[in-house]
Amino acid sequence: MKLGYYSYTTHIEHDVGDIHPEHPMRIIAINHHLEETGLAADAYQGGCNHVAQADLLRAHSQGYIEQLLAMSPANGMILADPDTPMAVGSLNAAYQAAGCVVEALDDLMQDRIARAFCSVRPPGHHAQSNKSMGFCFLNNVAIAAKKAQQEYGLERIAIIDFDVHQGNGTIDILADDPAFLICSSFQHPSFPFTHWRNIYNNVINTPLDEGSSGLDMRRAVEAQWLHQLQDFKPQLTIVSAGFDAHEKDHMAELKWQAEDYAWFGAFLSDINKGCEENKILAVLEGGYNLEALASSAHDFIAGFKD
């Protein structure tokens, strides 16, 4: 089953300083590890497209997109939000990231590939329809999900978010739309401290206590997600793939290992084997310890690519 791997070099333009955890070495570490192992050697390579305005407006308001353009600095750096610095090249990198994800979606829907991993930054799942936050400017997953619904006519799209921080922006944009089933695991309590209660008809929140292991996660996911996903029979699964729950990542206090991400990839692949379309689009979110990020992304891709 053909794998697509999508990345780009202009993410380097989003340079907010060496001490900021969301830095260019994240993508470089993943790329280097995949090259060393040969996992993506036969993959379809993509990531050249720039996102169209029409696709942005499926998930974000016109005013917000104009605001991002107006505030993008000509030199130096500003704060789009207390946690979200914006440098000269940040907005272009964000546009390119969203373009990568949309390109991967198009390739999936046109049957060039059946699985895709988008190694992109800045991340996206905290970006709301009209607000930057949590290192995120544009919600890559929500943009692709809305395009799949509105342009390709899909009626059942699963959104899987396993970042250590809940994808509140994705929920903000897609909540209560029956075309989407959103399953989100995250440490609780933790940033962003919102949207974690099960108050939406199409959201399954799975909060994990500080110190939870990968085994704790597996049991919770199987108990809370498995039957719902099987009954939903997604035509497309879009994954916010965050690797900051790894024990070596000090962004939070979960205790996952690389093999837990391999399990997650296989779990999603097995569910999709029962679906006629069997398409999975995974998008990088968190993950800040470079060694743990690279090995976890590798094992996740190995788990879901077949």
The residues that are catalytic are 126
Asked if residue 101 lies in contact with residue 107, where contact means CB atoms within 8 angstroms, the answer is no
E runs forming strands in the chain = 3-6, 44-46, 77-81, 84-87, 115-118, 157-161, 180-187, 203-208, 236-241, 280-284
Asked if residue 126 lies in contact with residue 133, where contact means CB atoms within 8 angstroms, the answer is yes
Asked if residue 263 lies in contact with residue 214, where contact means CB atoms within 8 angstroms, the answer is yes
For residues 40 and 45, give the distance between their C-alpha atoms in angstroms, rounded to a whole number.
Answer: 9
| Residue 97 phi, psi dihedral angles, 5° rounding | -60, -50
For residues 23 and 27, give the distance between their C-alpha atoms in angstroms, rounded to a whole number.
Answer: 8
| CA 93-67-13 angle, 5° bins | 15
Which residues are paired to 133 by β-bridges? 136
